[in-house]
Amino acid sequence: MMSAGTDGGGTFVRSALLVAGTTSDAGKSVLVAGLCRWLAREGVAVAPFKAQNMSNNSVVTRDGGEIGRAQALQAAACGLEPSVRFNPVLLKPGGDRSSQVVVLGRAVGEVSALSYRARKAELMTTVLDTLDSLRDDFEAVVCEGAGSPAEINLRADDIANMGLARAANLPVVVVGDIDRGGVFAHLFGTLALLDPADQALVAGFVVNKFRGDPALLEPGLRQLRALTGRPVHGVLPWREELWLDAEDSLSYAADGVIGRPEAPRGDQWLRVAVVRLPRISNATDVEALACEPGVSVRFVTEPSRLADADLVVLPGSKATVEDLRWLRATGLADAVAAHDGPVLGICGGFQMLGARIDDPVESRAGTVAGLGLLDVDVRFAADKALGNPRGTAFGEPVTGYEIHHGSVARSAEDGLVTLADGTAEGALRGRVAGTHWHGLLENDAFRRAFLRWAAGHAGRDGFTPAPDVDFAGRRAAQLDLLGDLVVEHLDTGAVKDLLERGAPRGLPVIPPAGAPPVS
């Protein structure tokens, strides 16, 4: 086995811990990524794990399986390729009350919130077997919880938080987002709502997104320890650079700028409006555009926001026909059709741009009219297309990944991408382009060619694409920053102790220690 590091650690053997959060978007995903990056740099063979993820941001693994995008990012932090073992259960919401269930990378059906609960015992076996295999193959596994462990209405059949921690005997660190306010109440209340056996595994806390002088926080940290008997293992500062690869589209403001726009290299900006569909999937597709100097990317939810846009993007959707209906109901469909500049559709957004959609699978709506900006017909099939294709587009080599039920049944358009065998993918007509490929904009040379195409159709002759933006490098730099923040602001010795020895014995029980039975 490899050494655990240079600051007092021993040797890890089947070590694991769980990072839970007081709320969704508290910082679990980034903390796990940071811990993974730190451990990997220390020479530890480490892997990420999220038993159950609920997200429409997903990627395709090398073997053709589907997992949450956050686990792919965490894998990169470990220096690993994505694997279905890192996220054995993925729920992809298609509406307020139903989700598609993906198990070990493959869709196995649709469930409601209530019907899903009946399947959890079976899924727990899959989860534990998968985690056990990772613990056999790696020195350390850093697990990420889902939502909050204090969702007491779901505790009885939980497979992602304390249910997992109890079954696998995992020490737990709870992270809270101080930027929301009330972080001490969140941390204390989360612990206090857990029953005594769950509390026994909660070994400490982490405060995330702190702005200001840490000395001002010290009295609260000391009092929290006095109240709970558990330390705060660190206070992670707010860093505005950490915006790539959001765990879910809910992390984005409904009408807000993505990223931190840099000044243009030429004398004009290129303004990009991304329609924030209700059931948006893979919202991260447009983040590569937001890394470009002079490109301002914002999500929009109503027609007036398209009035001054140069480029309009229709992103992916987990419910294409339903989101198309929403476009029409809000007036955004008319605004997209009336837009006289470039339009890009990605996956579900591409399908909406076509002439007709025949969907007996997802919405079961049959044949519905698309927006008619491309002469393309799409038909949905029960089996999902998953892949990591390669080709050329705008004269540049490109890669991407596909996750879709709908495929092109007929096209009278030129292709956007040419595959190695000469077949076409997507569509291109004048100022309108569409593709089923996610990740296409992450190809640097293609992205620069695409921006020149978009600026030309938008009449933005003063816009100049930067020649040196390295999107993969940006992502790697973010992971390095997360690893640096862990080293600089967390008690890494305490984290290693948890990995090696588990939660300390004799931690105090904090009342009310679980909910009393309801008669």
The radius of gyration of the chain from alpha carbons, rounded to an integer in Å, stands at 24
232-283 residue pLDDT tens: 999 999 888 776 666 554 455 555 788 888 999 989 999 999 999 999 999 8
Cα–Cα dist 29/196, whole Å: 26
Residue 294: in which H helix or E strand, if any?
none
Cα–Cα dist 102/108, whole Å: 6
From 241-245, 489-493, 502-506, the region with the lowest mean pLDDT: 241-245
- What pLDDT, on the 0 to 100 scale, is given for residue 138? 97
**Exposed, middle or buried by CB within 10 Å (0-12, 13-18, 19+), for 445?**
middle
- What pLDDT, on the 0 to 100 scale, is given for residue 6? 36
Residues facing 317 on adjacent strands: 280
Mean pLDDT, to the nearest integer, of 379-396? Answer: 94
36-62 residue pLDDT tens: 999 999 999 999 999 999 988 899 998
Q: Could you tell me the two tokens for 428?
A: 């291109």
Q: Could you tell me the two tokens for 343?
A: 């339009």
Cα–Cα dist 419/407, whole Å: 16
- What pLDDT, on the 0 to 100 scale, is given for residue 254? 53
Contacts of 497 (CB under 8 A, 6+ apart): none
Instruction: Decide if pLDDT at 322 tops 80.
Output: yes
From 2-16, 295-309, 384-398, the region with the lowest mean pLDDT: 2-16
Catalytic residue among 186, 405, 438, 457: 438
Cα–Cα dist 136/139, whole Å: 8
From 105-109, 183-187, 197-201, 273-277, the region with the lowest mean pLDDT: 105-109
Mean pLDDT, to the nearest integer, of 406-434? Answer: 96
Cα–Cα dist 224/179, whole Å: 18
Whether 438 is a known active-site residue: answer yes
**What percent helix, strand, coil does the chain show, rounded to 5?**
35, 30, 40
- What pLDDT, on the 0 to 100 scale, is given for residue 119? 86
Q: Report yes or no: 349 and 319 within 8 Å, Cβ to Cβ.
A: no
Using pLDDT thresholds of 50, 70 and 90, give the confidence band for residue 8.
Answer: very low
- What pLDDT, on the 0 to 100 scale, is given for residue 96? 63
- Per the listing, tokens 């008319």 go with 334
Whether 186 is a known active-site residue: answer no
- Per the listing, tokens 């089923």 go with 436
Residue 52 has phi, psi (to 5 degrees) of -140, 125
Q: Could you tell me the two tokens for 55?
A: 């997200």
Counting residues of the chain whose pLDDT is more than 90, the rounded percentage is 80
pTM as predicted? 0.91
Residues facing 377 on adjacent strands: 356, 410
- What pLDDT, on the 0 to 100 scale, is given for residue 517? 55
User: Strands 417-419 and 424-425: what pairing?
Assistant: antiparallel
Peptide bond before residue 512 is cis, with ω within 30 degrees of 0: yes
Mean pLDDT, to the nearest integer, of 363-372? Answer: 94
Counting residues of the chain whose pLDDT is more than 70, the rounded percentage is 94
> Hey, how many other C-beta atoms are within 10 angstroms of the C-beta on 84?
21
Mean pLDDT, to the nearest integer, of 98-102? Answer: 89
Residue type, 371: L
Q: Report yes or no: 315 and 281 within 8 Å, Cβ to Cβ.
A: yes
Residue 226: in which H helix or E strand, if any?
helix 218-228
CA atoms within 13 A on the CB side of 129: 11
Instruction: Decide if pLDDT at 5 tops 90.
Output: no
328-358 residue pLDDT tens: 999 999 999 999 999 999 999 999 999 999 9
Using pLDDT thresholds of 50, 70 and 90, give the confidence band for residue 3.
Answer: very low
Could you give all domains of the chain from N- to C-terminal order, each with its CATH number? 15-243 (3.40.50.300), 252-471 (3.40.50.880)
Using pLDDT thresholds of 50, 70 and 90, give the confidence band for residue 7.
Answer: very low
- What pLDDT, on the 0 to 100 scale, is given for residue 95? 67
Catalytic residue among 347, 405, 457, 489: 347
Using pLDDT thresholds of 50, 70 and 90, give the confidence band for residue 169.
Answer: very high
Mean pLDDT, to the nearest integer, of 360-367? Answer: 90
Instruction: Decide if pLDDT at 221 tops 80.
Output: yes
